[in-house]
Amino acid sequence: MAAAVVGVLAIGAGGAYLLWGRTPARPPAAHPPTSSASVTTTPTAPATGGTASGTPTVSPTASGAPGGYHVVHDVKGFTLAVPDGWQRDERPTGVFYTSADSRNLLQIFQITESGLTPQRALEQASQGLAGNPGYQQISLGPVPGPSGSSGAQLVYAYDSDRLGIRVQAVDTAFAAADGRQFAVLVLGPAADWPRQQETEHLALQSFSPTS
């Protein structure tokens, strides 16, 4: 797998698990943001659930996020909605928002490799993921990005050794309105699908780059 793949550039091919959904050897840190990696959040009301198709049924609040989610203005240069109660953790492979039980995560990573398209980034990601136990590429293809620009989306599943369950993830790579490319990934238990799809949809719907 080429070293230019998103996430691989920072830590090498052997450590690509973070972006591409391999669960880490230890649970992600669950602690408030530090002053050097802080976020500004806008709280909302409790969640009301979603549909089986993954399209949210919750209504936006005054903050712009639906119930059960809040908007974060991250110091790494983006704004988006994340589930309430998920804690921020910054690593070489991006910014993570992780549930208290470490079974669900949302990852945001900037693609900086010149000439690497969203489609090609996810093709290489799927190739790298193939070594996971029970890996299955469920779908991979073009989708519109949050700004209407070109993007691609990969849906996959595999058996997580650490969690002892099958997990399923959706990973979307796209060009933002300011020209930067990002990848947004949501991973959780396969039995909870399409909850990951709902979280991804809301994150992308609310995504905007910031300076």
Q: Is residue 16 part of a domain?
A: yes
Taking the C-alpha atoms of residue 168 and residue 191, their distance in angstroms, rounded to an integer, is 8
Q: Which of 184, 152, 188, 154 is nearest to 168 (CA)?
A: 188
- Domain range spanning residue 164? 8-209
Taking the C-alpha atoms of residue 189 and residue 87, their distance in angstroms, rounded to an integer, is 18
Q: Is residue 132 part of a domain?
A: yes
Q: Is residue 3 part of a domain?
A: no
Q: What is the pLDDT of residue 39?
A: 43
Q: Is residue 55 part of a domain?
A: yes
Model pLDDT for residues 145-203, shown as the tens digit of each residue: 998 888 999 999 999 998 999 999 999 999 999 999 999 999 999 999 999 999 999 99
Q: Kindly report the CATH number assigned to the domain that includes residue 88.
A: 3.40.1000.10
Q: Is residue 14 part of a domain?
A: yes
pTM (predicted TM-score): 0.75
Collapsing DSSP to helix, strand or coil, 95 comes out as strand
Q: Is residue 130 part of a domain?
A: yes
Q: Is residue 91 part of a domain?
A: yes
Q: Which of 198, 200, 116 is nearest to 154 (CA)?
A: 200
Q: Is residue 203 part of a domain?
A: yes
Q: Which of 89, 94, 77, 207 is nearest to 151 (CA)?
A: 207
How high does pLDDT run on average in the chain? 78
Count: domains in the chain: 1
